[in-house]
Amino acid sequence: MIPRYLVDVDLDDIPHIHTDVIVIGAGIAGLFTALRASETKRVLMITKKSLLDSNTRYAQGGIAAVISDEDSPEYHMQDTLIAGAGLCSPEAVDVLVHEGPDGVQDLIRMGTQFDLENGEFALTKEGAHSQRRILHAHGDATGAEIVRALSERTKQDPNIEIWDDHFVIDLITQDGVCYGALVQKPDGQRVFVRGNATILCSGGAGQLFRYTTNPDIATGDGIAIAYRAGAQIQDVEFVQFHPTALCYPGAPRFLISEAVRGEGAYLRNIKGERFMDKYHPQLELAPRDVVARAIVDEMELNKSTFVYLDITHESEELIKHRFPTIYEYCLNYGLDMATDWIPVAPAAHYMMGGVKTDLHGETVVKRLFACGEVSSTGVHGANRLASNSLSEAIVFGRRIIERIQALSPLSGNPTLQAVSPRLENPKQAVVERKLKLQKVMLRYAGLKRSAKGLQKGYEELTRQLSIYDTHMTKREDYEFANLLTCSLLTTTAALAREESRGGHYREDFPERDDLQWKKHIVFKHGEDRVEEWI
C-alpha cells in the first residue's frame, strides 16, 4: 500500500514559511506561470536542481501554433484529435488551438527570439501536422531559447524567490484543500511552505525507462505527490516513445528531432532500405507511435539494435543551418549528418497522462494546480501531436493564473501529525533498485505490451514496496519512491486497457476498441480505479 506521506511529519515541529503562490518545478510551465503570477502575487519557485534543468531545455523541434494565413485553428484541432486517437477532450483542444497564438506572443514579449525568414516566422512541419505551424529558435534549440529568455526574467523579478536544490517531499492537504508543501532544504532541514495556491510544474517521468531522452530529473515526482495528496491521475498507460534517439556506442540517447524528418529525412533499416511505406501512408511523418513501432519491427526483423536516419540527400548548408545543435552533437561522436546515416532507436520521451485538471488547470484538490507534462488536461489524448506540449504549457499556464487571481485568501491552519508505516530497510542500494525498475518497465511496459508481461512486471515492482521507509532523507530515495509509484500506476492501467491505442500497444489486443475502451482510466489514492467514458 502506498502511504499518504513518505515521511513522518508534525507541522508543529518544523518552520513555517508563507507566500502567495508556490510553483514546483521549472521548465516552460514553471517559468511562465511564475512570471505571470508575479505580476500581482509573491511567488516562491522551488526546483530540485536549477532553473536550467528541465525537459524544456532539451526541446528541439519547436512550438505549435496557428500563425500562417494558410493555417487555421480548425486544421490544428483536427490534427490534434486524429493524433490523440479518440481520447482527446475536444474542449481542451479547442482552448489550445485558439489561445496558442496569444501564448506565443507572450513568449515573444518575455524575450524569446524565434527564427525568422524574410521578416516572417520560419515555420516547419512535423509528424501528423497537415500544415507548417512549428515555430523554432536557433534551428533546433527552441527549448533552450525559451528557457534562456524566461529564466533571465525570472531571476530579475523582485516578486519571485527561487529555491534551487530543494526537494518537495509531499503536499500538505486537509479536507480536500492544498495548503502548501513539505520541502527539504539542501542542508536536510524540512520546512512547511504555505501558499494560497500551489502549481505543479515538475515535468514527466522518462526515468521510468532504461532508455529515455529525458534528463535525470524526470522522475515523476509531481504525479506521485499529487496522487498521495488525493488528486486524480489519468491516462498514465499512454507513454510516448520518440522514434529517433541517437543509438551509438558511448553516446547518451540524444534526441534527433522529428523536425529532421519534417525537412525530408528518410528512415532506412540496417540493409539500407526505406520501410515506412509498409506501415503508414504518411511515411516518415506518420504519428510517433506508428513510426516507433515500425522501427522496432524492422529491428526485430533484421536482428539489429537500430535503424538509420538519412538526410544526406539535403544540402550541407541546410542541415547546418536548420539543425546546428544536432549536427554538432553527432559530430562529437564522429557522425556527420551531411554525409553519414545516423543510427537511431526509440526511447521514452513523453507521458501523455498525468494529474487530471479542468480547463483552468485545477485538480480535484482545491488550490492545487498542474501545468505542463505533469498534467493531464485532455489535450494529448492517447498520443501527443508533435510540438503541442510547449503550447499546452503556456495556454493552460495563462488560465491557471486567471483562476488564481480570483481566489480568496486561504483561511485556517492544517493540523497535521502523520506517521507513515515503518517498513524494513531494503538491502539494495537505491541506484541498483532504480536500474532494476527501469529494466522491468522497458521489458514489460515499453513499446509492446502483453497481459503476461505486464502482470510479471507488476509483481516484480510490488516486491519493491518495502522502499517506503520513514527514515528516508536523501533526494534519490524520494525520487525512487516516486518512480515506483508511477510505475505501479502505469503497469496497472496498461494491464487494464485491453486494446491498442496511441502510445499503448498490446500484442494480445492489437486492435483499437472504441466500443469497450473509448474512456479514461483514472486513479485516486485510497480508492478503486474508475473508468470514465469520453
Encode pLDDT of 44-65 as tens digits: 999 999 888 887 887 877 999 9
Give 441-494 pLDDT, tens digit per residue.
Answer: 999 999 999 999 999 999 999 988 765 555 688 999 999 999 999 999 999 999
Does pTM top 0.75 for this prediction?
yes
Identify the CATH number of the domain defined by range 419-533.
1.20.58.100
91 Cβ contact list (under 8 Å, min separation 6): 359, 378
Q: Output the 3-class SS for 135-202.
A: ECCCCCCHHHHHHHHHHHHHHHCCCEEEECCCEEEEEEEECCEEEEEEEECCCCCEEEEEEEEEEECC
Q: What is the mean pLDDT of residues 14-31?
A: 97
pLDDT band per the 50, 70, 90 thresholds, residue 423? low
Residues known to be catalytic = 288
Supply the mean pLDDT for the chain: 94
The answer to whether 395 and 95 have CB atoms below 8 angstroms apart is yes
Residue 233 has pLDDT above 80, yes or no: yes
Grid look-up 517521468 returns 205
Residue 424 has pLDDT above 60, yes or no: no
Grid look-up 518552520 returns 15
The neighbour count for residue 334, using CB atoms within 10 Å, is 10
What pLDDT was estimated at residue 467? Answer: 58
Q: Is 361 left (phi over 0), alpha (psi -120 to 50) or beta?
A: left
Question: Distance between CA atoms of 482 and 204, rounded to whole angstroms?
Answer: 11
Residue 429 has pLDDT above 90, yes or no: no
Residue 75 has pLDDT above 60, yes or no: yes
pLDDT band per the 50, 70, 90 thresholds, residue 392? very high
pLDDT band per the 50, 70, 90 thresholds, residue 296? very high
What pLDDT was estimated at residue 288? Answer: 81
What pLDDT was estimated at residue 148? Answer: 96
Residue 425 has pLDDT above 70, yes or no: no
Residue 128 has pLDDT above 90, yes or no: no
Do domains 240-348 and 419-533 share one topology? The answer is no
161 Cβ contact list (under 8 Å, min separation 6): 19, 42, 43, 44, 45
Instruction: Give percent above pLDDT 90 in the chain.
Output: 87
Question: Distance between CA atoms of 389 and 379, rounded to whole angstroms?
Answer: 9
User: Residue 228 burial by CB count (10 A; 0-12/13-18/19+): exposed, middle or buried?
Assistant: buried
CA dihedral 456, 460, 461, 466 (to 10 degrees): 150
Question: Distance between CA atoms of 98 and 73, rounded to whole angstroms?
Answer: 6
Domain 240-348 in CATH 3.90.700.10? The answer is yes
> Residue ranges of the domains in the chain?
240-348, 419-533
Q: What is the mean pLDDT of residues 104-115?
A: 97
Give 471-482 pLDDT, tens digit per residue.
Answer: 688 999 999 999
